[in-house]
Amino acid sequence: MEKRYTIGVMIGNANSPHTMNLMQGIFHAAKSMDVNVLFFLGIHSSYYYKSYFGEDTEDDYDYQFNVVYDYQAFADADALIIAYGSLCIFLDEKERKTFLDKYKDKPCVLVEERDHSGKATSIIADNYHGMYAVAEHLVRNHGYRRFTYLAGPHGNTDANERRQAVFDVMNAYKVSFDESRVAYGDFSSCVQQQVNQLLDENADKRAIENLLLRKRQIHDKILSHIIKREKEKFSTFQQESWFVPLISRDMLCHMDDEREFYRRSLVKLQALGAEASYFYIFEHPTAHFRNEEWHCPKRMYLTAYQSGEDIIAYEEDKRPEVVTTFAGEGKITRRKNHAQNYVATIFCLFSGEIQYGILVADIYSAYLSLFYLISRQIGNMLRMYQMSEEQKTMQRKLEILVREIQEKNEVLNFISESDALTGCMNRRGFIEKTLQMNRDHEGEELLILFADLDHLKEINDSFGHIEGDFSIRHCAEVLKKVVGADGIVGRIGGDEFCVVTLGNLKDGQQIIERIREESDAFNCTSDKEYYVELSAGCTSVICRNGLVIADALREADRALYEVKKLRRNFVKKIR
């Protein structure tokens, strides 16, 4: 099968009639010559913004659209057509060489510009002689002597040659003419300000009357046909543009399912004029700020594509990759019918300063404005998706942080409320837990028990502080055992413990008896040379609002004082 060539076309100022006509011509030529064409479509909208909204550089995102020319590296085109006449609006003389040098290793054809490198082919109209003949006819045949001239943009070779021809005619026929009678446009219709300024500064009533008369003499049928055609085009665009927000809605409704999110972006494109469309994203969103150097991503991934009614979307780990070092022989498109050529346009997908990828759409040039709107919608949805993912990531980090804080708070609470030696509540923790128990059991009887380790000082003095600590820990274990999980045990002093639990004085005496039994059992079997014993006293109160816990503790302490009078008066065991 004979190779079908793929031609990349770099073209700018896409919102001008001149560019639209050029694209239509290339479209028809591609179909008749059976070649593939990829339009790398730049936008020059600053004149439009200024004409409607005035000077506001925040509205000017031309620099974002125009990175599209670097994406030709992904296509691996066999040759390039560079419609330089539409690019030079935003390329000054210094940038011109830098721009063209990027493509010096690929066969190139420059349109509307001369090649000064000797490496490319140039196609340019004979602007000078054509404009010279027109201007000379007006002067010589009609006798006109007062002229104003609306020129194309500075830096455009076609515009420069036509302007020079006008000046040369005026000079040859001694017609008064200088730069004050020239204004500059951008090949768009947004030149009302320049035209008004020319007419205001060079008023000639007779010339204006003649101009208006000639306008009225335009054939009514031709005018009617043009108006009807443009109305039909606008009406169709207006009707179809109503559906563009549905793409955003569909994507927004599936932001929790990445694969479906990308698939939904293409669902309605066939109905809006796309024979096929391809949605690529970069490995990472890439920031591109005004007046800063742009670094083109090296790889991109096909998230989904539409071919006729079929729509295929890929899971993240299965997306086909395209890299600048090997672009797959220009196949950034995937057609079911390879016997048919394609003419596709590449749109940048960005929002603000962030570039996300490209949309490749196999569409007729009449749908460019509509798909421009679609690409802007998709770009903004990608920004929303990125923000949503960043929010989820931040939420996950916050949840982890909250858990860490909670765990650390639990540790801190344990440290602040617990006694390090025994694991019981310390004085602060015990008081807080007792207050909580009083609030939770209003109207119920609360038992408060005070206990004291007998002869701790003697144990420390005779056997050492390690043995003293052992005795304290053992007493804590005894109290926790006899009180159970429903009670609270606190160490509120060096050898002092306090217990609270629901119960009455009778329950308290039973607890004290069990403490004595546990102590006796330990002392009988222990090889310690001293006795480990607790003295305990108790009281009870009714849980109520206004209960003063300190008063209840003092009452229990008094009961303990009486019991301590009966304790063993020695600590060493008699062998």
3-state secondary structure 479-511: HHHHHCCCCEEEECCCCEEEEEEECCHHHHHHH
Q: What is the pLDDT of residues 345-375, one digit of tens each?
A: 999 999 999 999 999 999 988 888 889 889 9
Residue 115 or 384, more confident? 384
Q: Is the dihedral of CA 425, 428, 431, 437 positive or negative?
A: negative
495 is catalytic: yes
List the beta bridge partners of residue 539. 448
Q: Residue 47: which residues within 8 A CB-CB, separation 6 or more? A: 185, 186, 188, 190
Half-sphere exposure of 484 (CA within 13 A, CB side): 6
What CA–CA distance (Å, rounded) separates 117 from 122? Answer: 11
Torsions phi, psi for 377 (to 5 deg): -60, -45
What CA–CA distance (Å, rounded) separates 63 from 42? Answer: 9
Which pair of structure tokens corresponds to residue 486? 């429903």
What CA–CA distance (Å, rounded) separates 458 from 90? Answer: 96
78, 330 contact by CB (below 8 A) = yes
Q: Residue 470: which residues within 8 A CB-CB, separation 6 or more? A: none
Residue type for position 2: E
Q: Is the pLDDT of residue 301 over 90?
A: yes
Q: Is 118 left (phi over 0), alpha (psi -120 to 50) or beta?
A: left
From residue 445, give the alpha-carbon distance in Å to each of 440, 482, 508, 544.
12, 19, 12, 10
Q: Is the dihedral of CA 533, 535, 540, 546 positive or negative?
A: negative
324, 102 contact by CB (below 8 A) = no
What CA–CA distance (Å, rounded) separates 265 from 223? Answer: 40
Using pLDDT thresholds of 50, 70 and 90, give the confidence band for residue 214: very low
Of 126, 96, 122, nearest to 110 by C-alpha is 122
Using pLDDT thresholds of 50, 70 and 90, give the confidence band for residue 401: very high
Residue type for position 492: I
Using pLDDT thresholds of 50, 70 and 90, give the confidence band for residue 101: confident
Q: Is the dihedral of CA 373, 378, 382, 388 positive or negative?
A: positive
| Mean pLDDT to the nearest integer, 392-414 | 84
What CA–CA distance (Å, rounded) separates 90 from 98? Answer: 13
260, 253 contact by CB (below 8 A) = no
- State the DSSP string of 124-176: ---HHHHHHHHHHHHHHTT------EEE--TT-HHHHHHHHHHHHHHHHTT--
65, 35 contact by CB (below 8 A) = no
Q: At what angle do helices 244-252 and 368-417 cross, to 10 degrees?
A: 20
Helical segments of 191-276, H only: 192-201, 205-216, 220-241, 244-252, 258-264
| Mean pLDDT to the nearest integer, 519-532 | 91
Annotated active-site residue in 70, 158, 495, 527:
495
What CA–CA distance (Å, rounded) separates 497 from 424? Answer: 9
Highest mean pLDDT among 80-89, 223-232, 491-500: 491-500
Lowest mean pLDDT among 23-37, 43-57, 164-178, 280-294: 43-57
Secondary structure element (H or E) that encloses residue 358, with its range? strand 354-362
23, 11 contact by CB (below 8 A) = yes
What CA–CA distance (Å, rounded) separates 520 from 512? Answer: 12
User: What mean pLDDT, rounded, does the chain reach?
Assistant: 83
What CA–CA distance (Å, rounded) separates 361 from 367? Answer: 10
Using pLDDT thresholds of 50, 70 and 90, give the confidence band for residue 571: confident
What CA–CA distance (Å, rounded) separates 283 from 554? Answer: 72
Residues comprising the chain, all counted: 575
Residue type for position 210: N
Per-residue pLDDT, 444: 95
Kindly list the strands in the beta sheet with 488-491, ordered across the sheet, starting from the edge strand earlier in the chain: 488-491, 496-502, 445-453, 534-542
Per-residue pLDDT, 47: 63
Lowest mean pLDDT among 96-110, 198-212, 267-281, 401-415: 198-212
Of 69, 21, 20, 14, nearest to 45 by C-alpha is 14
**Can you give the pTM of this predicted structure?**
0.67
Q: What is the pLDDT of residues 260-285, one digit of tens each?
A: 999 999 999 998 889 999 999 999 99
From residue 54, give the alpha-carbon distance in Å to each of 51, 151, 155, 197, 489.
6, 21, 23, 16, 78
Q: What is the pLDDT of residues 54-95, one digit of tens each?
A: 665 555 677 888 889 989 888 878 899 998 878 765 566 667
Measured between its terminal Cα atoms, the distance across the chain in Å is: 112
Whose tokens are 């011509």? That residue is: 25
What CA–CA distance (Å, rounded) separates 194 from 182? Answer: 9
Can you tell me whether residue 80 is helix, strand or coil? strand
